[in-house]
Amino acid sequence: MPPQPNSSATSFWRRLAPIYIGLGLLCCAIPLTLFWYYSLPTDSSPLRQILIPKGASARRIGEILERENLVKSATVFAWTVRLKGLGHRLKAGTYLFDGSHDTAGIVQDLLKAPVQTQRATLPEGLTRHQIASLLQQQSLVDSSLFIAATEDIRFIRNLGFDTETLEGYLFPETYFFDPKANEREIITIMVEQFKSVFADSLFIRLDSIGLSLHQSVTLASIVEREAVTAVERPVISGIFQRRLKLNRRLESCATVEYALGVHKRRLSNADLRVVSPFNTYRHRGLPPGPIGNPGKASILATLYPTDTEYLYFVARGDGTHIFSRTNKEHERAKRQIKQQERLARRSQTN
């Protein structure tokens, strides 16, 4: 007679069976729940322009989208593409997203033809009026509508800024704009690019230098116009911040030019007396707002200035400056440069 199973052991395993089944279901449910959660829309509403480079893998595309807060997980995006077998159908190009779609919806958007774009390069330091003029020359905007939008308080507040204009926040970059985009859509793309550059990791520096976001962008715009070489940007930023701490006037020629509305090779004494809150030869502290739109290098130089004893600098004329600690040294440097300019003019006439 065959041995009978131990009834107590059988009963024991029968009691454990629901537990193991439950654990198995739980192990399946957790990753599925996480996959579902990380597939949800990010609710990141501002319209953004995303460039997918040639040869980018699903994982790389996911990383780009995650960085732009369009998907919650690059891994979930990549797996969604693989499970649907669509990796070979994702094409390079420029796409417009607003974060309202879930991961599967974004994958479907990427299967559509990329938008036809027009390239526009905006150099560092341009004012919003100069940007409007440049974009109008390329038939991308109506300059008057562009300027009006940068002064629309409701539009500015919707973009997340408590400023009078968007001067300083139209980030200089090479863009690929949809020719059908209107002025506000183009401005939104530029502002979102500023936000992506001035990320949270940079905000923590504001307390260290004792400036608000608006003040730091204002100072960065001055550094952008005053500095030419990369090595001098943090030094010039350090000089301006030292002058601010000492309650000294910044005496920036770039702010005077902004007040005058023209660029001059050399400012006259009358120019330095122009009546304007942007004239830092007349007023202490920072001007009321940026004098242009700074690039990343000038923003970083403002957030990470060189700790310097210099208080003055004067341009040599070749993109570099002579730095001085005292006014006496500064005056001597100015005389030196004037003498060099006279000698250069004589050599040209001979």
Please give the Cα distance from 52 to 61 (Å, whole number): 7
At 273, list the tokens: 């007396």
In this prediction, residue 41 carries a pLDDT of 61
Please give the Cα distance from 52 to 114 (Å, whole number): 9
Write the pLDDT tens digit of every residue in 91-139: 888 888 877 788 888 888 888 877 778 889 999 999 999 999 999 999 9
Beta bridge partners of 94: 51
Give the pTM: 0.75
The residues of the chain scoring below 70 in pLDDT are 1-46, 350
In this prediction, residue 267 carries a pLDDT of 85
In this prediction, residue 9 carries a pLDDT of 57
- Domains, the chain, in order of start with CATH, read 48-111 (3.30.1490.480), 118-197 (no CATH), 201-308 (no CATH)
Write the pLDDT tens digit of every residue in 194-236: 998 998 889 999 999 999 999 999 999 999 999 999 999 999 9
